[in-house]
Amino acid sequence: VLPPGHPLAAGERVALGDLAKDAWIGQSAGNPCHDVTVLACEYAGFTLNPEHSSDDFRAVVALAAASAGVALVPRSALRGMELTGVEVRPIEGVAPTRRVFAAVRRGAEDHPLISPVLTALGVASESGA
């Protein structure tokens, strides 16, 4: 997620290393998305040192819209969100990924409250969300 008028917003994709000198908006340490972002930045050749942080992706997008910095936000977190005032671009090359697990007690996977959740997780993982 890039602030309005960011020079890299004109392209279709953004190389993460090209954002090394930008101000960053991150998540709190211990948040799985924080860990993914830190590793992605290290792989791109720089150390993440966020100037702002929030575990609320709506706040992260609002900070980017206010030109407070750039951020990595999962596509699934952007669904249904107001994206006015920001530019959203995919990362060039291999995108950072995270794993989501669902632990279910043996025999409970067919429970009417659990089965739809497991199905939705499977559909989301197949769509790359």
The residue type of 4 is P
């819209």: which residue's tokens?
65
Evaluate whether 37 touches 26 at the Cβ level (below 8 Å): yes
Evaluate whether 14 touches 2 at the Cβ level (below 8 Å): yes
The pair of three-digit structure tokens given for residue 17, joined into one six-digit string? 């290393």
Sequence ranges of the domains in the chain: 7-78, 99-129
Q: What is the pLDDT along the chain (129 residues), one digit of tens a residue?
A: 999 999 999 989 999 999 999 999 999 988 889 999 999 999 999 999 999 999 999 999 999 999 999 999 998 889 889 898 999 999 998 777 777 788 999 999 999 999 999 999 888 777 665
pTM, full prediction: 0.78
The pLDDT of residue 127 is 66
Instruction: Please state, as a whole number, how many other Cβ atoms lie within 10 Å of the Cβ of residue 52.
Output: 16
The superfamily (CATH) of domain 7-78 is Periplasmic binding protein-like II (3.40.190.10)
Evaluate whether 102 touches 121 at the Cβ level (below 8 Å): yes
